[in-house]
Amino acid sequence: MKRVRCYPNEKVEGVTVFVPRGHSHVRVILELEDQVVVLHEATVAAIARAYMDVVAHPLRRAVQLRRAALAERKRGYAEHQLLEVDRGEDEIVEEAEKVLEACAERVSGEA
Protein backbone atom coordinates (compact mmCIF):
# COMPACT_ATOMS: atom_id res chain seq x y z
CA MET A 1 0.00 0.00 0.00
CA LYS A 2 1.20 3.50 -0.74
CA ARG A 3 1.97 5.80 2.18
CA VAL A 4 -1.26 7.00 3.78
CA ARG A 5 -1.55 10.60 4.94
CA CYS A 6 -4.56 11.55 7.05
CA TYR A 7 -5.98 15.06 7.14
CA PRO A 8 -8.85 15.60 9.55
CA ASN A 9 -10.47 19.01 9.30
CA GLU A 10 -8.21 20.55 11.96
CA LYS A 11 -5.15 19.82 9.79
CA VAL A 12 -6.57 21.68 6.78
CA GLU A 13 -5.48 25.31 7.01
CA GLY A 14 -7.35 26.59 3.98
CA VAL A 15 -8.74 26.06 0.51
CA THR A 16 -8.46 28.45 -2.42
CA VAL A 17 -10.52 28.02 -5.58
CA PHE A 18 -9.62 30.24 -8.53
CA VAL A 19 -9.10 30.52 -12.28
CA PRO A 20 -5.47 31.49 -13.05
CA ARG A 21 -4.94 34.45 -15.35
CA GLY A 22 -4.80 33.33 -18.96
CA HIS A 23 -6.59 30.05 -18.20
CA SER A 24 -10.22 29.00 -18.38
CA HIS A 25 -10.25 26.13 -15.90
CA VAL A 26 -10.46 26.21 -12.12
CA ARG A 27 -7.63 25.19 -9.81
CA VAL A 28 -8.06 24.27 -6.16
CA ILE A 29 -5.27 24.80 -3.65
CA LEU A 30 -5.49 22.73 -0.47
CA GLU A 31 -3.31 24.23 2.24
CA LEU A 32 -2.57 21.41 4.64
CA GLU A 33 -0.60 21.45 7.85
CA ASP A 34 2.50 19.97 6.18
CA GLN A 35 2.08 20.53 2.45
CA VAL A 36 0.15 22.28 -0.29
CA VAL A 37 -1.77 20.32 -2.93
CA VAL A 38 -3.00 21.84 -6.20
CA LEU A 39 -5.84 20.09 -8.01
CA HIS A 40 -7.02 20.81 -11.54
CA GLU A 41 -10.65 21.30 -12.45
CA ALA A 42 -11.05 17.84 -14.02
CA THR A 43 -10.03 16.21 -10.73
CA VAL A 44 -12.30 18.40 -8.62
CA ALA A 45 -15.22 17.83 -11.02
CA ALA A 46 -14.72 14.06 -10.80
CA ILE A 47 -14.61 14.18 -6.99
CA ALA A 48 -17.78 16.31 -6.95
CA ARG A 49 -19.54 13.87 -9.31
CA ALA A 50 -18.61 10.86 -7.19
CA TYR A 51 -19.52 12.66 -3.97
CA MET A 52 -22.97 13.52 -5.30
CA ASP A 53 -23.46 9.97 -6.60
CA VAL A 54 -22.97 8.61 -3.09
CA VAL A 55 -24.60 11.37 -1.01
CA ALA A 56 -27.71 11.88 -3.14
CA HIS A 57 -28.46 8.21 -3.84
CA PRO A 58 -30.71 6.40 -1.36
CA LEU A 59 -28.73 3.12 -1.52
CA ARG A 60 -25.32 3.79 -3.01
CA ARG A 61 -22.43 3.58 -0.53
CA ALA A 62 -19.31 3.81 -2.67
CA VAL A 63 -17.88 4.92 -5.99
CA GLN A 64 -14.32 4.45 -7.19
CA LEU A 65 -12.74 6.47 -9.96
CA ARG A 66 -9.57 5.64 -11.88
CA ARG A 67 -7.52 7.61 -14.38
CA ALA A 68 -8.24 6.96 -18.04
CA ALA A 69 -6.72 8.60 -21.12
CA LEU A 70 -9.52 9.51 -23.53
CA ALA A 71 -8.74 9.88 -27.23
CA GLU A 72 -12.33 11.05 -27.79
CA ARG A 73 -14.04 13.42 -25.39
CA LYS A 74 -16.27 16.45 -25.23
CA ARG A 75 -14.76 19.75 -26.33
CA GLY A 76 -12.88 21.42 -23.48
CA TYR A 77 -12.39 18.23 -21.47
CA ALA A 78 -8.91 17.12 -20.45
CA GLU A 79 -7.44 13.99 -22.04
CA HIS A 80 -6.90 12.36 -18.66
CA GLN A 81 -10.11 11.87 -16.69
CA LEU A 82 -11.11 10.07 -13.52
CA LEU A 83 -13.89 7.69 -14.53
CA GLU A 84 -16.03 5.29 -12.53
CA VAL A 85 -14.76 1.71 -12.46
CA ASP A 86 -16.92 -1.38 -12.66
CA ARG A 87 -16.45 -2.79 -9.14
CA GLY A 88 -18.90 -3.85 -6.50
CA GLU A 89 -19.59 -1.41 -3.70
CA ASP A 90 -18.69 -3.97 -1.03
CA GLU A 91 -15.27 -4.47 -2.62
CA ILE A 92 -14.69 -0.72 -2.81
CA VAL A 93 -15.76 -0.17 0.81
CA GLU A 94 -13.57 -3.04 2.05
CA GLU A 95 -10.51 -1.61 0.29
CA ALA A 96 -11.26 1.92 1.51
CA GLU A 97 -11.66 0.73 5.10
CA LYS A 98 -8.14 -0.71 4.98
CA VAL A 99 -6.87 2.76 4.12
CA LEU A 100 -8.87 4.19 7.04
CA GLU A 101 -7.32 1.57 9.35
CA ALA A 102 -3.85 2.72 8.28
CA CYS A 103 -4.96 6.27 8.99
CA ALA A 104 -6.20 5.34 12.47
CA GLU A 105 -2.94 3.49 13.21
CA ARG A 106 -0.95 6.59 12.29
CA VAL A 107 -3.08 8.82 14.52
CA SER A 108 -2.83 6.45 17.50
CA GLY A 109 0.92 6.12 16.94
CA GLU A 110 1.33 9.90 17.10
CA ALA A 111 -0.41 10.21 20.50
- The sheet carrying 12-18 orders its strands as 12-18, 27-32, 36-40
26 has a pLDDT exceeding 70: yes
Backbone angles phi, psi at 94, to 5 degrees: -60, -45
At 45-85, the pLDDT tens digits run 999 999 999 999 999 999 999 999 999 999 988 899 999 99
* pLDDT recorded at residue 3: 87
Number of Cα atoms under 13 Å in the Cβ half of residue 25: 11
Average pLDDT score over residue span 94-110: 80
102 has a pLDDT exceeding 60: yes
Backbone angles phi, psi at 11, to 5 degrees: -100, 0
Q: pTM (2 decimals)?
A: 0.86
Cα–Cα dist 85/65, whole Å: 6
Cα–Cα dist 84/49, whole Å: 10
107 has a pLDDT exceeding 60: no
Lowest mean pLDDT among 25-34, 35-44, 95-104: 95-104
* pLDDT recorded at residue 111: 45
44, 85, 88, 103 from 97: Cα distances, Å: 22, 18, 14, 10
